[in-house]
Each structure stands twice: as structure tokens, then as C-alpha cells.
A and B are shown apart, each in its own frame.
Chain A
Amino acid sequence: MKEKNFEWLKLDNAAKIYPAAMSRNWTAMFRLSATLKESIDPLILQQALSSTLKRIPSFALRLKKGIFWYYLEKIDGMPKVTKDYKNPLVRMRLNEDSGFMFRVRYYENRIAVEIFHVLTDGTGGMIFLNTLIAEYIKLKYKEQITHSEYVLDCNDEASKEEWEDSFLRYARDAKSSRGESKAYHIKGTKEEKDILNIITAIIPVDKIKDKAKQYSVTVNEFLTAVMLMSLQKMQSAEISKKAKMLPPKVSVPVNLRKFYDTKTLRNFANYVNPGLEPAHGIYSFEEITKRVKHFMGYEVTEKQLNARMSANVASEKNILLRPVPLVIKSLTMKAFFYIQGDRCNSVTLSNLGVVKLPEQMEKYLERVEFILGPFSVNPVMCACVSFKDKLYLNFSSTIKQTDFQRLVLTTMVKMGIPVLVESNRR
């Protein structure tokens, strides 16, 4: 069934926490960008955005407070594309920019979209960016592009399935416990307000793939293992008493679209937290890769993930919680986020995998990048995406120290993986 319009939407299950958790200086955001071979024409970009937003109406929304829940209201305007800044992902205020919860920015050859997590997750954001770039290329180079579910055609009409809450559709009755133990946290000197340090590591895909294969793991598992290894080293250097050590854990978001038939462009991801148990002693890299591989093998399955997401959906559906006024719900959720939030992981590694675009688009594109915005407790976040023959691993951090980034990248260098580094520092 094709349905073009909606007046308002409920927040999807994963999005519910973000407005409650946001503060004056922090909104959960991420950024996706594509670098073209020629410099960006802002006028054409603005035109491309206009058609993209018409095609993906679930981005033209503003956040509003109801009596019991937040909701999303349709906006008719159009956000203006703006020049990019040195420090990406500066917090969003919902009363600015007519309430749009995403920004489109350009710098030299690059187009970037910064999105508040209430709207969508990384995959949804990637489809938005792909569609925007396709539209830009079509307008600028008069290119005919073969569309797919990852590059939407702006001449098509939006369908209802694209803004459905797939969590609600696929949740079942079996729930798993959401309790997680506290994890080790990276410490450091806080950067001043608004500053986000970005370090981008560019790694040849074939080299990292070969190395991962050597340990019989996927690239994602390999990166997770390298990060756990680095966290283990950092904690051992900081704390000498084993009893005081906390488990280093990496939060790995999992795209649930892989398991379910859905076209949703809203949030539909969950996460797993592979980690180490410091009380067991120091792990060798082989041990870590095995641990991560088997953990993922067990956790990243439809049954396990469904039980996790069903637990979240159940609390949303709880008959006692639903009539609680939003003010109280928000406060409770804020407290829950503060206690649970990212306390049970040390760092997040979000991997969007390989971005495969139609040939007509790829020839105009140089690279694609993914950056995660800062979170509440953990100062360092990692996001990665592969495009053509390169993997782009982005570290975003709100502290001055770069020990973690250095450990991760030097570990790879020592393994024989070449790493090219650039940053937003000057």
C-alpha cells in the first residue's frame, strides 16, 4: 500500500530514550559524509536536498512533547545547506533551524549529513545520504542512476513501510534481561565545550581482511578484538590491583534489517557488548579474537536479538507505564540512561560495513565516512565504513589524550596493516 502522507508519528522504540536523555549540551548524533571528485555546488545540493526530503518524509519532522510521550510532527519547510565546520556534530537545539533534526553541510568536495538519532540509525542515515548524493549527481552531471533499496528514486512515492516502527512489528513475548555489568572507562582531560577531536584512519580493505581471515574472524570482529586488546592494555597500565579492574567492553551496534524483512528508514538496530573478564587474567590476542567470535556467534542471532528488543518493547507497552505523564517518564528515563546508558561499555564501534553504490555514482565518489557523536560517559567513539578498496575508521573524542586511538592503530601497524592517519586538528 502506498501512502504519501502522515501528519505525525510516534517515536520508534529505540528513539524513545534520546529526547529524555538529551541535555542542554548534548544530543545523540552521528554524521555520514561522501567526498566527491569535484567541489560541491551548494545551490544544486539545496535542490537535491529538496527532492530527497520529499522522497524521505520521515526526515522532515520536529520533536514535540505530548502529555504522555514525545511525538514527531511534520514540518513543511526545508533546512538550508550550510558550510561545514572544523568540529562536527555540535549539539542540536530543537528550537533552532525550524526544528529539523538533521543538518546538511558541505566543504570543498564533501557533503555531510549530521543526524539526531531520534530520526534514524546509521543504515537509515546512509540511505538518506545515498539518495541525496544520487540526486546531486543526477542534477549536476545529468547521469542516469540505477536505484535500489539503498539509493532511493526521488520520482517514486514514499511508502508507509518506510516509516514503520519495525521494533513493534517484530517484537515477541520472550524477553531477555537488560542487566549489564559496569565496564571500564577511558579517562582523560576533557576538551572544552563544542570540541570534538576526529582522527580518521584509512586502511586498505584487502590487508585488514587478510589479517582477520588469519584469525578466522570477520573485519568487524577483528576491529573489536583490537579495541579490547587496547582497552586491556590501558587498564593494566592504570590499575595494578586485579580486583579493582572492570571488564573492558566494546558496544557493537547490530543492524536488525539483516534479520527481518523491513524497509524502515527509522531506527532498527540493537547492540551487543563483547568484553573481557579482567579477573581471568591477561588475554592474548588469539584468545580475544576467539572470545569475540564466539560471543558474536551466540549473541548476534535472531533469537537473542529479538529477546533483547522485545524487552525494550515490553516496557514501552507496559500498561502501568503508559499513563505516566511525560515529565515523570522523562526523568525516570534520564536516570535509567545515566545508570545503564553507556556505563556498561567502554567504547562503541559502529560498523556500517561495505557501501556499495551503483557504478554511475561510484565514478564520481572518492570516499564515504561515518562519525559518531560523543556519548554521555565514554569519551571515545569509533565508527567505520568501507568504500571501494579502503576502510575508513573514525575516532571521535571529547578528551585531549589519544592513548586509545594510538594503541588501536599501532597494534594494527605492528600486525603489518598499513594505516594512513588524518585529523581535524590544526
Chain B
Amino acid sequence: MSYCVHCGVELAPSEKECPLCGAAVIDTIKPWEEPKHYPYPKTLQRTYDSIDKRYSAIYASLFLAVPVAVSIITDICISGNITWSWYVLGAGLCIFCFFLMPILLKKRHIYLNVALDFAAVLIYLALIARLTSFSWYLPLAAPITVITASVFMASIYISKHAKPFSAAAAILVLTGIACVAIEILIDNFAFGYIKLFWSLIVTTSVFITALALLFIQKKQRLKEEIKKRLFM
């Protein structure tokens, strides 16, 4: 008969340490020995998910590789070079990064996944540019992709860390700024000069909405404050 020195409860002979606090049973007169009976058997019951998602993702990746490989081989056989099959390769890469990669990774790495998605988009666009011309890629496609990726990542970070209303406001402001940046890029590429128009409309409405959201957030706090003081 042992008692836990911390909790004061009596411990059943099966308990080598107190199940409540983890303190070991130290009995100098009668040291703890393996009991004949335990309250529960030793074997653990394990359940398995009927479909292993990662296994299926590996399978799907292999299936995805088939059309890509067939396209490349056909392309090489007919034109003696990789030409149009770059498109298929790029599209395959995008599908893989968007849908299969998140399942293949053992843990959820949201930032890594988003980064990979946008990297795949950048590569796909570069492949298209390779077949057409790089003139639109560097001044337009690449920066727009990078801006969108940054807004996306920042939004994820904000929504994880800020309060809902402030998060929504911050994401709206970011989107507004991104719109301005995108219009600058487009104007510069298309006309060679910058004259902001549509992004200003977006930005203004988005900023006002953000302000309204912050106001609600503030008011909520105000409400709580009043509640706390006038508690009945």
C-alpha cells in the first residue's frame, strides 16, 4: 500500500508512479515490483485510416507523369526537339505543386506550399516566355506574380496573428496597395508612362471598407469595456 507523497492519494499496486503527478513510488521497505494484474492489458488498439492519403498522392503523381512524359517523347520524335511539350510540362508542374505537394508533405507547411505554388507559376510563365518572347516576362509577368505571392503570404500571416476585423482591414489595405503596384507595372509596360486610374477606385473603396472594419473592432472593444464596468 503506497501513497503519493505529493497528492496524498493511495496508489493501486499496478502504479509505479502516481498517475496524477508522475512522482515515482519510493518505498524503502517494500520496493515496487511488477504486479501480477494490471487494470488494463498491454496491447494498444490502433486504427488506421482506410485510405492512406500520401500513398494516393504518390500514385496520382505517377499518373500525372504519364501524359507529361508521353507529350515530351511525342514532341521529340516529331520535331526532334522539345517545343510545345514545355506547356504540358509546366502545367503538370503546376498541378503537382497545387494539389499533390500539400498531401505529400508530412506536416502542414502553409508558407512553403504557397511559395512552391507561386514558384511553379513563375516557371510555367517562363516556359511560355521561352517559346514566345521574354519581353513581357521580366517587366510584367514575373513582378505581378511576385506581388500576388507576397500579398497572399502576408494575408495568411495576418489572418493567423491578428484579430478578425483588423486582419480583414489589413488584408484589404494590402490588396489596395498591390492593385496600385500592378497598374503601375501594366501602364509602364503598355504605354511607357504611368497614369493611375482603376487601381485608385479599388484602393479608395478598399481603404474606406478597411476603416469601417477597424471602427467596428474599436467599437467592440468599447462595448466590452462598458460591459465590464456596468456588470450587473
Quick check: B21 and A402 within 8 Å, CB to CB? Answer: yes
In chain A, residues 1-49, which have Cβ atoms closer than 8 Å to a Cβ of chain B?
24-25
Instruction: Answer yes or no: B27 CB below 8 A from chain A CBs.
Output: no
Known pairs A243-B224, A243-B228; A419 contacts B9 (CB<8 A)? yes
Instruction: Answer yes or no: B38 CB below 8 A from chain A CBs.
Output: yes
Instruction: Answer yes or no: B18 CB below 8 A from chain A CBs.
Output: yes
Chain B residues closer than 8 Å to A279, beta-carbon distance: 231
Instruction: Answer yes or no: A340 CB below 8 A from chain B CBs.
Output: no
Instruction: Answer yes or no: B80 CB below 8 A from chain A CBs.
Output: no
Quick check: A409 and B20 within 8 Å, CB to CB? Answer: yes
Quick check: B20 and A90 within 8 Å, CB to CB? Answer: no
A162 to chain B, nearest CB (A): 31
User: How many angstroms from the CA of A195 to the CA of B44 in the assembled complex?
Assistant: 8
Quick check: B45 and A194 within 8 Å, CB to CB? Answer: yes
Q: Which residue in A83, A85, A410 is a CB contact (below 8 Å) of B7?
A: A410
Quick check: A413 and B7 within 8 Å, CB to CB? Answer: yes
A242 to chain B, nearest CB (A): 8
Instruction: Answer yes or no: A335 CB below 8 A from chain B CBs.
Output: no
Known pairs A402-B21, A406-B20, A409-B20; A86 contacts B40 (CB<8 A)? yes
Instruction: Answer yes or no: B139 CB below 8 A from chain A CBs.
Output: no
Quick check: A422 and B9 within 8 Å, CB to CB? Answer: no
In chain A, residues 378-426, which have Cβ atoms closer than 8 Å to a Cβ of chain B?
402, 405-406, 409-410, 413-414, 418-426
Q: Which residue in B9, B14, B39, B46 is a CB contact (below 8 Å) of A409?
A: B9
User: How many angstroms from the CA of A93 to the CA of B51 in the assembled complex?
Assistant: 14
Instruction: Answer yes or no: A84 CB below 8 A from chain B CBs.
Output: yes
Q: Which residue in A83, A87, A194, A425 is a CB contact (below 8 Å) of B19?
A: A425
Task: Place the interface of chain B in its size category.
Answer: 20 to 34
B99 to chain A, nearest CB (A): 20
Tell me how many residue pairs across A and B have CB atoms closer than 8 Å. Answer: 94
Quick check: A421 and B11 within 8 Å, CB to CB? Answer: yes
What string of 1s and 0s marks CB contacts (under 8 Å) between B10-47 and chain A?
Answer: 11101100111100000000000000011111111111
Quick check: B8 and A410 within 8 Å, CB to CB? Answer: yes
Chain A residues closer than 8 Å to B228, beta-carbon distance: 243
Known pairs A194-B44, A409-B7, A410-B7; A422 contacts B39 (CB<8 A)? yes
Instruction: Answer yes or no: A287 CB below 8 A from chain B CBs.
Output: no
In chain B, residues 195-232, which have Cβ atoms closer than 8 Å to a Cβ of chain A?
224, 228, 231
User: How many angstroms from the CA of A226 to the CA of B121 in the assembled complex?
Assistant: 59
Quick check: B19 and A402 within 8 Å, CB to CB? Answer: yes
User: How many angstroms from the CA of A423 to the CA of B11 in the assembled complex?
Assistant: 9
Quick check: B19 and A423 within 8 Å, CB to CB? Answer: yes
Quick check: A420 and B12 within 8 Å, CB to CB? Answer: yes
Instruction: Answer yes or no: A143 CB below 8 A from chain B CBs.
Output: no
Chain B residues closer than 8 Å to A423, beta-carbon distance: 14-15, 19, 39
B145 to chain A, nearest CB (A): 36
Chain B residues closer than 8 Å to A198, beta-carbon distance: 40
B87 to chain A, nearest CB (A): 39
Instruction: Answer yes or no: B49 CB below 8 A from chain A CBs.
Output: yes
Q: Which residue in A84, A195, A420 is a CB contact (below 8 Å) of B40?
A: A84
What string of 1s and 0s marks CB contacts (under 8 Å) between A241-260 and chain B?
Answer: 00100000000000000000
Chain B residues closer than 8 Å to A409, beta-carbon distance: 7, 9, 20
Chain B residues closer than 8 Å to A406, beta-carbon distance: 7, 20-21
Q: Which residue in A85, A93, A199, A418 is a CB contact (below 8 Å) of B41?
A: A85
B126 to chain A, nearest CB (A): 41
The chain A residues found within 8 Å of chain B, CB to CB, are 24-25, 83-88, 90-91, 93, 107-108, 193-195, 198-201, 243, 279, 402, 405-406, 409-410, 413-414, 418-426
Additional 15 contacts, C-beta under 8 A, given A243-B228, A409-B7: A83-B41, A88-B40, A90-B45, A91-B47, A107-B41, A402-B21, A405-B20, A414-B8, A420-B11, A421-B4, A421-B9, A422-B12, A422-B19, A423-B39, A424-B39
30 contacts between A and B (CB under 8 A): A25-B47, A85-B41, A85-B43, A86-B40, A86-B42, A86-B43, A90-B45, A90-B47, A91-B47, A107-B41, A194-B44, A194-B45, A198-B40, A199-B19, A201-B9, A243-B224, A409-B20, A410-B9, A413-B7, A419-B9, A420-B11, A420-B12, A421-B4, A421-B9, A421-B15, A422-B11, A422-B12, A423-B14, A423-B19, A425-B19
